[in-house]
Structure 1
Amino acid sequence: MDNDDGRRARLQQRLENAVARGDLNIDEYSDLCAAVWDTSHDEDSPELDAIAGRLERLDEARARTNPGQGYDGPGASISPRRNLPAGRHTIGVTPPADRQKGSPAIFGDHEIGGRWAPQPETTWWSVFGETKIDLTEADFPGERLVLDVQSSFSEVRVTVPRGTRVVVNATAILSEVKQRQDPDAEANGLTVVIDGVLIFGELKIRER
């Protein structure tokens, strides 16, 4: 067991590795991180020993099920955007304070994509404009993401990772909704819910 002053930091790194691999979900990760940095626990406390033991068991289980890959071990450094098993898209670990809100497009265009980190619920206004939301490389805050679309005389395009479940709850008034997804694509464990109101507009959903 580690007993020096860097133990909490090493446990934090191992937790990040575990959630990036899909061994922990985001809620488990948050709870364990809070316990790691709880100052009421000493660095050699049973609580931290229990977390270290759980991580060791996860590493051992991963090594058994993926013998060719081995495991990352304590202090290993891996990309936080490593793909999750079974075709699941990565759920990131960006702190809530650093996640992005929605943006307006009024008499203009707004496009967002690449490696960005949306909040769990965002609102997008579009009036006589065009909004493009690309989630294919986004750092998802969890398994469920809500987009509140408020659109008038505008076009909104949403691109999701292949295998994402999309639920359209938006009200379309004299508007058109086009959803193009492969029904045979392997589910990636993510759900994108589209709420809001569209008036004299168009909503296009596709996957990539």
Structure 2
Amino acid sequence: MTLPGQDPLEDTKRATQTALERAVGEGRLTLEEFAARADTVWRADTPAEIASAVADLPAPVAPVLPATEGAVKVSISSIFDDVRRSGRFTLRSGTKVSAVFGDAKVDLRQAVISEPVVDLTVFSCFGDVVVTVPKGVRVEVDGSVVFGSERVELSAEPPLPGSPLIRLHARSIFGDVKVRDQHWTERVKGWLDRLA
């Protein structure tokens, strides 16, 4: 076992990981950007490779205030239409997404979070719940389905050190719940690559 201070490369990786955790917590990196950079750090064999993961980190724009009990919670809902949330957006703990007679689709790969643990509830009645998460981020799925099926398709890779935890509460009545860490286009590309 190597003690801190005995392996300079390992110490550099830990310090860089801390900088990445701070950056994702301040909203300077999306979850997907954090996962890719942290993966680079832990696979690196040289100090230069480690430094490349933080060389172009965006600077903080404003001081980050810690999340409080009274923080604004976001609710997005729709009746007779789908709800889709994707792209770069701030994800706060307590966010709720729901659809009645429509699908509830949430893509978290470009989400920006500033809390170490985020609770997200996604519900659909007479429609599907589809949630896409970035690889390398810790995810706990609490799902329930009435007259439908549940599929959780997450890679077997362990979560990256220091990654935030997403606690997903997925519910569907007369629809399916699908949680995955690859968008359908990536899965199709993978299948085509295997056929070639």
Q: TM-score range by the shorter chain?
A: 0.5 to 0.7
Who wins on radius of gyration, i.e. which is larger? Answer: 1
Q: Any residues of structure 2 matched to 1:43-192 within 5 Å, and which?
A: 67-68=47-48, 69=51, 78-79=57-58, 101-183=74-156, 185-188=157-160, 189-192=163-166
Q: Which structure 1 residue ranges, 4+ long, deviate > 4 Å from structure 2?
A: 23-26, 93-100
- What is the deviation of 1:21? 2.9
How far, CA to CA, are the matches of 1:95 and 1:102 in structure 2?
A: 21
Distance 2:178 2:65 in 1: 28
Q: Which amino acid aligns with 1:22?
A: E
Question: Which letter does structure 2 place at the counterpart of 1:79?
Answer: P
Structure 1 residues 162 and 25, CA gap change in structure 2 (3 angstroms): closer
Alpha-carbon shift at residue 133 of structure 1 (Å): 0.6
| Count of residues paired in the alignment | 139
Using CA pairs below 8 Å that are at least 6 residues apart, which structure has the higher relative contact order?
Answer: 2
Note the C-alpha offset of 1:186: 4.0
Deviations 1:151-175 (A, max 9, x none): 2111111010102232222332222
Question: Normalising by the residue count of structure 2, what TM-score does the alignment of the two structures yield?
Answer: 0.57
Runs of 5+ consecutive residues of structure 1 not aligned to the other structure: 1-17, 30-65, 82-92
Change (3 A) 1:106 1:139: same
Q: Which residue of 2 aligns with 1:202?
A: 176
Q: Deviations for 1:79-102, whole angstroms, at most 9, x for unmatched residues?
A: 159xxxxxxxxxxx5886997723
Distance 1:124 1:139, change over 3 A: same
RMSD: 3.7
SS at match of 1:170: strand
Note if contact 2:109-2:133 (Cα within 8 Å) is conserved in structure 1. Answer: yes
Q: What SS does the aligned partner of 1:204 have?
A: strand
- Displacement of 1:19 in angstroms is 6.9
Residue 22 in structure 1 maps to residue 1 in structure 2: no
- SS of the aligned residue for 1:22 comes to helix
**Inter-partner Cα distance in structure 1 for 2:86 and 2:149:** 23
Q: Does the aligned pair in 1 maintain the 2:109–2:134 contact within 8 Å?
A: yes
Aligned counterparts of 1:94 and 1:136: Cα–Cα separation in 2: 23
- Conserved in 2, the CA contact under 8 Å of 1:19 and 1:25? no
Normalising by structure 1, we get a TM-score of 0.54
Q: What is the percentage of aligned positions where both structures have the same residue?
A: 26
Q: Residues 116, 176 of structure 1: CA spacing in aligned structure 2 closer, same or farther, 3 A cutoff?
A: same
Given the superposition, is the C-alpha separation of residues 80 and 118 from structure 1 closer, same or farther in structure 2, using an over 3 Å criterion?
Answer: farther
CA distance in 2, matches of 1:136, 1:177: 21
Question: Does structure 1 retain, via aligned residues, the 8 Å contact 2:104–2:122?
Answer: no
- Paired AA for residue 171 in structure 2: V
Q: Quick one: distance in 2 between partners of 1:205 and 1:23?
A: 27
